Amino acid sequence: MKKLFASILLLAPTILFGQVALQGTWRTDMDQAKLSQKPYTFSLAGGMYECTSCVPEIKIKADGTDQPVTGQTYDTLSARMDGPRTITLTAKKNGKTVFEQTRTVSVDGNTLALKSTSYSKENDQSVQTEVSLTRVGQTPSGANGTSGSWRVNKVSETDAGLMTTYKWAGDELIMSQPTGEGYRAKLDGHDYPYNGSYTIDTVSLKRIDDRTIEETNKRGGKVISISKISVSPDGKTLTEVVNNKLLDRTSTFVSEKQTMEAEK
C-alpha cells in the first residue's frame, strides 16, 4: 500500500504540470510559422477555373455563378475573372458563404497576393487572411496571370483566427476559439464532437508525454489532420506540428501564452 501511495504521489505532479502548462489562452505568431512548401496549383483559362492541387480536384465554369462541387468543405464555388491579373472566388455551404477570396498577381507575374474573408459557422465572427505566394515555374500559356504553381511565403491573419483557449474540466480538455470552433474531449483516443467547423466534425486526443498531446481530426469518419501539440518546459510557448493527411502537407505553428490581462 505504501509503495502504491508513493507511486501516486510521484505521478501526480507530472500530470498536474501537463494540465497547468496547456491551460490558458494562446496566440499563434505567424512570423514563426514554418509552412508547407508543397505548391498550390490552379488556373483560369478558356472560361474555366481548375484547381489540381485541391483534393478532390476542382473544375468549374469561371462565369461568376455558383457551381456545384463535391468532396469539399463547401458545396458550391464561383470563380470570376476581374482582369488579366485578378480573380475572385466565393465558396458557399447550403447557401451560406464560407469564404470570399481575391487573388492578384504582381506586374512581373512572380508574386501572388491572396486576400480572403472566412465566415464562422457558429457566430458572426469573421477572419481576414492575407497570403503572399511565390511562383514556381512559368505562367501557363493563354491563362489568367494568377494561374500556375505557387509556394506560400507569408501569412497574416486577424486575431479571431489566431487565438485558442484550453481548459480542463476533470479529465476532459475543453478547446475554444473566437469563431465558435471547439470541443470537449478526454485523452482516451475516442472520437468526440468537434463543433463549429466546416472542415472537421470529430476529434480524438491522446497523451504522448508530460507536455505533449496528439489531436486527430476527422470529417465523415476520414482523417483530415493529425497534430502534435507541445508546451515548452517554461510553459510559455506552444508548438503545434500539423500533418494535413488530406493534402499531404506538414506545417509547424508556434503560439505564445497570453497574460491574464491580455486574456481579459
What would the mean pLDDT of 63-87 be, rounded to a whole number? 98
Task: Give domain status of residue 3, yes or no.
Answer: no
What pLDDT was estimated at residue 19?
64
Domain boundary among 158, 173, 200: 158
Residues 179 and 133 in one domain: no
Number of domains in the chain: 2
Q: Which residues, including other chains, have CB under 8 Å from residue 24's CB and lie 6 or more apart?
A: 165, 166, 167, 257, 258, 263
Q: Show the beta-strand stretches assigned E in 46-95.
A: 48-51, 58-61, 67-68, 76-83, 86-93
Residue 239: enclosing H or E segment and its boundaries? strand 237-244
What would the mean pLDDT of 239-245 be, rounded to a whole number? 98
Domain boundary among 158, 189, 222: 158
Residues 139-172 have pLDDT tens digits of: 899 999 999 999 999 999 999 999 999 999 999 9
Closest by Cα among 112, 61, 60 to 85 = 112
What's the whole-number average pLDDT of the chain? 92
What pLDDT was estimated at residue 137?
86
Residues 135 and 48 in one domain: yes
Q: Is the pLDDT of residue 73 over 60?
A: yes
What would the mean pLDDT of 59-80 be, rounded to a whole number? 98
* Residue 88 CB-density burial (10 A; 0-12 exposed, 13-18 middle, 19+ buried): middle
- Whole-angstrom CA distances from 224 to 15, 212, 221, 262 are 29, 20, 9, 32
pTM: 0.89
Task: Give domain status of residue 176, yes or no.
Answer: yes
Whether residue 48 contacts residue 60, with contact meaning beta carbons closer than 8 Å, is answered with yes
Q: Is the pLDDT of residue 218 over 70?
A: yes
- The CATH number given to whatever domain includes residue 128 is 2.40.128
* Residues spanned by the domain of 87: 40-158
Residues 215 and 105 in one domain: no
What would the mean pLDDT of 25-54 be, rounded to a whole number? 98
